[in-house]
């Protein structure tokens, strides 16, 4: 079983729709990252959160630490939101304070006008 599971793997929406992408993880973490990757481009960090909810523009991220689950919501979706959205969690290695990110496989979002 992967340590980080995302769903759905592919998501197609019409402009204006409300979108939800889910992320489940299997280990205890101190923070969860949501990232955005455009075709041919690098990765941009959207959120880092350890509890509750964060909002930035039309993007909202929530996390439930007890249930080991996080969601990324996009309100009033737009074609420019089309990208791969990746959930990542730090998996501490060897009990040190240094972490490394374990990434989900990504959700490919396509928003049609």
Cβ at position 31, least distance to other proteins in Å:
4
Give how far Cα 106 sits from Cα of 47, 52, 63, 94, Å.
15, 22, 17, 26
| Per-residue mark of binding to other proteins, 40-79 (x: CB under 8 A) | xxxxxx--x-x-----------------------------
Tokens of 32: 């969860």
What would the two tokens of residue 53 be?
């909810």
User: Is residue 105 a contact point for other proteins (CB under 8 A)?
Assistant: yes
Rule CB under 8 A: say whether 11 interacts with other proteins: no
Note whether 82 binds other proteins by CB under 8 A. no
Contact of 37 with 53, CB cutoff 8 Å: no
**Considering beta carbons, is residue 27 or 76 the nearer one to other proteins?**
27
- Nearest CA among 32, 26, 33 for reference residue 3: 26
* Cβ distance to other proteins smaller for residue 43 or 60: 43
Among 15-23, 56-64, 69-77, 102-110, which window interacts with other proteins (CB under 8 A)? 102-110
Do residues 31 and 61 lie in contact, with contact meaning Cβ atoms separated by under 8 Å?
no
Total residues belonging to the chain: 113
Q: By CB under 8 A, name the one of 66, 67, 80, 93 that touches other proteins.
A: 93
């Amino acid at each position: 079983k992967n340590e980080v599971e995302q769903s759905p793997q592919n998501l197609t929406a019409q402009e204006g729709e409300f979108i939800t992408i889910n992320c489940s993880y299997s280990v205890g973490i101190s923070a969860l990252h949501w990232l955005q990757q455009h075709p041919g481009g690098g990765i941009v960090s959207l959120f880092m959160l350890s509890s509750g909810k964060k909002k930035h523009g039309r993007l909202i991220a929530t996390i439930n630490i007890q249930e080991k689950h996080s969601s990324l919501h996009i309100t009033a979706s737009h074609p420019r939101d089309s990208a791969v959205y990746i959930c990542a969690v730090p998996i501490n290695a060897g009990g040190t304070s240094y972490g490394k990110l374990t990434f989900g496989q990504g959700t490919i979002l396509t928003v049609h006008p």
